[in-house]
Amino acid sequence: QVQPVEVGGGYVQAGGSLRLSCTVSQRIYSSYAMGWFRQATGYEREFVAAISWNWDDTWYAPSVAGRFAISKDIYNNTVYLQMNNLKPEDTAVYFCASHRAGGLREAPSYEHWGQGTQVTVSS
């Protein structure tokens, strides 16, 4: 079982914070990184952030840089997404997935997607 499990979504007012976690029950050793994506109703899935398992490399979408922070706990196969100063436009279902090959900001480059967790930000 390698499907990630995301928890931590919820309802928050604009300017608030949430912390998402993504745990993989079996570490995918061939995977270079884990990524967070989000999908708002009526929109395509978009890249949010990614982090390398074995190095300190991180990547962010311009829309969240400076507000979101991705981190990892390699001993517990868990990746976190700390979201601060949330905005209504951050409302979406947030997914994590394991990078397989290709561009780190591209959804088709990932596999083993979680079920997602809803984040709703009110104005």
Q: Write the pLDDT tens digit of every residue in 60-87.
A: 999 999 999 999 998 888 999 999 999 9
Q: Which residue do the tokens 């993989």 mark?
A: 24
Q: Please tell me the distance from the alpha carbon of residue 106 to that of residue 76, in angstroms, as a whole number.
A: 26
Q: Please provide the size of the chain in residues.
A: 123
Mean of pLDDT over the chain: 93
65 Cβ neighbours under 8 A, 6+ residues apart: none
Q: What is the pLDDT of residue 102?
A: 92
Mean pLDDT, range 25-44, rounded to an integer? 86
